[in-house]
Amino acid sequence: MAILLHVEVVQRRQSRASKEYIKDLVHTFLANFVSLTPGASLTDDDFYENQELMEHVQCITFCDVENDSSAVVLTECEIKYHIYTLDTFGAETDTMMDSASGEEIAAAEVCALPAEQFHGLWESLVYDSKLKEDTLRFVETAFEFSDRNVDSNIISWNRVVLLHGPPGTGKTSLCRALAQKLAIRLSHKFPRARLLEINAHGLFSKWFSESGKLVAKLFDRIREIVEDKRLFACILVDEIESLAHTRRAAIAGLEPSDSIRAVNAILTQLDRLKHHPNALVLTTSNVTGAIDVAFVDRADIKRLVGPPSDRAAYKILHGCCCELMNRGVVVPKETLLTLHVLEASRFADSEGSRASLQLREVAMEAAAANMSGRALRRLPFLAKALHAPAQVNLIQFIDALNLALKQYLSDIQDLND
Ligand SMILES: Nc1ncnc2c1ncn2[C@@H]1O[C@H](COP(=O)(O)OP(=O)(O)OP(=O)(O)O)[C@@H](O)[C@H]1O
């Protein structure tokens, strides 16, 4: 069976060419390649000699659902093209006024998709399990069921996703990346797409005398958006546990009891969205135990998102080092081996593998300490700022990464003591 390869093509905003024309252009260009690596992208640097591509295309990314890293042979692939432009306007904050206190609350952020700010986010997230692919497939299946009018009384699905796990493991980023990916993949059905991020923590971190009304107003606005059946709407509720926290505080008499009503209103309103086949609810939580059982039950897919394993940590640090070499921060540009190549050589020590093996040591130590993806991505910055000479080569930089990691672990230890 042929491998399905999705080729995502970002068309330049100023290009007026038709999608069909861009598709032919890219297809002809790809005939120059024998194999491609899923997750890889081609930009100006890779096709600057092709005038037509330069004029119309900003970036070409390859993704296949089965395989996230090893190369695929083009003649064995069925290629699906997705041609789109990126929205550059950024997010718009939807504010609401609590008329009793006069305080203004940022209730939601709305942004048109696919957005420039989320470009490449999907590819930058590294997980060992098939978390990204599974989540994407789940949502695609939910939309297929809706398309085929599968009776939801017989097979129930709500188009609600819950990602939970420790802070900094990429839950919010994954939700945003998923929304962007779906906006691209489902554009034949939904030519327009929006991401609405509800600030649950902001709405409930403090009691506003009119929380109930604010929730109602917020969902009036969301309903207005989802009424457009040709628009795909992703509603992201970060830190959903803050709803449960408010409920508990109200029951304990620490908050006015009508705050329970406001929280219940959010849950009911989220529930109602399931009647809109163009709406998807994405939620995240740092603490699974504290989430409302009523809510957990509604989510079709609940996935634990943990800190990167040593393999994922290596991939993340590998990507960081390559970026710094590409930008001339670490010079000269040298080859860092991928994990596949290291494994194939059984981690044999040689001139060409030394830097990679040292980087792997750092990755293994970071993973053993359960370092979050967020902390890991910050490590190269700390290494350059505090532990590297002004002119730094790759081996020196990996030494600096090691020192930065040691410092991080000792700072964490001090905090825990
Ligand atoms: N597995 C990962 N692969 C690559 N990058 C990661 C990974 N996990 C986290 N990051 C990076 O860490 C940063 C923080 O991620 P994000 O805010 O999405 O995490 P979170 O789990 O939602 O955190 P919180 O619960 O504290 O809000 C992002 O820049 C993201 O790119």
Peptide bond into 380 cis (omega under 30): no
Q: Which pLDDT belongs to residue 102?
A: 73
Q: Which pLDDT belongs to residue 35?
A: 78
CB 162 within 8 A of CB 139: no
Could you read off the pLDDT of 359-416 as tens digits, one per residue? 999 999 999 999 999 999 999 999 999 999 999 999 999 999 999 999 999 988 887 7
Considering the chain, what is the average pLDDT of its residues? 86
Residues in the chain: 417
Round to whole Å and give the CA distance between 357 and 350: 9
Could you read off the pLDDT of 191-205 as tens digits, one per residue? 999 999 987 777 766
Peptide bond into 114 cis (omega under 30): yes
CATH code at position 260? 3.40.50.300
Q: Which pLDDT belongs to residue 407?
A: 94
Round to whole Å and give the CA distance between 245 and 201: 10
Co-location of 125 and 103 in the same domain: yes
Co-location of 268 and 156 in the same domain: yes
**Residue that terminates a domain, selected from 84, 116, 138:** 84
Co-location of 125 and 202 in the same domain: yes
Amino acid identity, position 172: T
Atom 23 in ligand 1: residue holding the nearest Cα: 168
Looking from the CA of residue 124, the nearest atom of ligand 1 is 4
Task: For residue 322, report the distance from its CA to the centre of ligand 1, in Å.
Answer: 20
The answer to whether residue 5 scores a pLDDT higher than 70 is yes
Q: pLDDT: is 108 or 58 the higher one?
A: 58
* E strand or H helix that includes residue 363: helix 354-368
What percentage of the chain has pLDDT greater than the value 70?
Answer: 89
Could you read off the pLDDT of 267-318 as tens digits, one per residue? 788 878 878 889 999 989 887 665 666 666 777 788 889 999 999 999 999 9
Which residues are within 8 A (CB) of 60 and not within 5 positions of it... i.e. 6 or more apart? 7, 8, 9, 10, 26, 41, 42, 47
Q: How many CA atoms lie within 13 A of 33 on its CB side?
A: 18
Which residues are within 8 A (CB) of 130 and not within 5 positions of it... i.e. 6 or more apart? none
Task: For residue 350, report the distance from its CA to the centre of ligand 1, in Å.
Answer: 34
Co-location of 78 and 122 in the same domain: no
Round to whole Å and give the CA distance between 2 and 155: 30
Q: Which pLDDT belongs to residue 69?
A: 58
Q: Which pLDDT belongs to residue 36?
A: 79
Amino acid identity, position 82: H
Co-location of 253 and 104 in the same domain: yes
Q: pLDDT: is 212 or 90 the higher one?
A: 90
211 confidence band (pLDDT: 50, 70, 90): low
Round to whole Å and give the CA distance between 78 and 5: 6
Mutate to test the pocket of ligand 1, among 169, 371, 372, 379 (most ligand atoms within 8 A of CB): 169
Co-location of 173 and 300 in the same domain: yes
Task: For residue 128, report the distance from its CA to the centre of ligand 1, in Å.
Answer: 15
The answer to whether residue 66 scores a pLDDT higher than 70 is no
Per-residue exposure over 136-164, b if at least 16 CB sit within 10 Å of its own CB, e if not: bebbeebbebbeeeeeeeeeeebbbbbbb
Amino acid identity, position 113: L
Atom 1 in ligand 1: residue holding the nearest Cα: 126
Task: For residue 377, report the distance from its CA to the centre of ligand 1, in Å.
Answer: 9
Task: For residue 315, report the distance from its CA to the centre of ligand 1, in Å.
Answer: 15
Q: Which pLDDT belongs to residue 299?
A: 78
Q: How many CA atoms lie within 13 A of 393 on its CB side?
A: 5
Per-residue exposure over 355-380, b if at least 16 CB sit within 10 Å of its own CB, e if not: bbebbbebbebbbeeebbbebbbbbb
Co-location of 227 and 352 in the same domain: no
Which ipTM did the prediction report?
A: 0.97
Could you read off the pLDDT of 92-112 as tens digits, one per residue? 887 777 666 777 777 788 999
* Ligand 1 shell residues, CB under 6 Å: 124-127, 167-173, 284, 286, 308, 312, 316, 373-374, 377
Could you read off the pLDDT of 147-184 as tens digits, one per residue? 888 887 787 777 888 899 999 999 999 999 999 999 99
Round to whole Å and give the CA distance between 163 and 143: 19
Co-location of 118 and 251 in the same domain: yes
CATH code at position 20? 3.10.330
Atom 16 in ligand 1: residue holding the nearest Cα: 170
Q: pLDDT: is 276 or 324 the higher one?
A: 324
Co-location of 147 and 265 in the same domain: yes
Q: How far is CA 133 from CA 37, 174, 192, 237, 273, in A?
A: 16, 11, 23, 21, 24
The answer to whether residue 207 scores a pLDDT higher than 60 is no
Q: pLDDT: is 77 or 96 the higher one?
A: 77
Q: Which pLDDT belongs to residue 321?
A: 96
**Residue that terminates a domain, selected from 27, 50, 84:** 84
From 22-31, 259-268, 299-308, the region with the lowest mean pLDDT: 259-268
What range defines the domain where residue 377 resides? 310-416
Q: pLDDT: is 59 or 90 the higher one?
A: 59
**Residue that terminates a domain, selected from 84, 116, 139:** 84
Co-location of 265 and 130 in the same domain: yes
Q: Which pLDDT belongs to residue 227?
A: 92
Task: For residue 361, report the distance from its CA to the centre of ligand 1, in Å.
Answer: 22
Q: Which pLDDT belongs to residue 378?
A: 95
Task: For residue 108, report the distance from its CA to the centre of ligand 1, in Å.
Answer: 20
Co-location of 262 and 386 in the same domain: no
Atom 4 in ligand 1: residue holding the nearest Cα: 125
Number of domains into which the chain is organized: 3
Looking from the CA of residue 284, the nearest atom of ligand 1 is 22
Looking from the CA of residue 308, the nearest atom of ligand 1 is 1
Mutate to test the pocket of ligand 1, among 126, 323, 374 (most ligand atoms within 8 A of CB): 374
Co-location of 183 and 260 in the same domain: yes
Could you read off the pLDDT of 133-150 as tens digits, one per residue? 888 888 888 888 888 888
Q: Which pLDDT belongs to residue 257?
A: 64
Atom 13 in ligand 1: residue holding the nearest Cα: 374
Task: For residue 157, report the distance from its CA to the centre of ligand 1, in Å.
Answer: 27
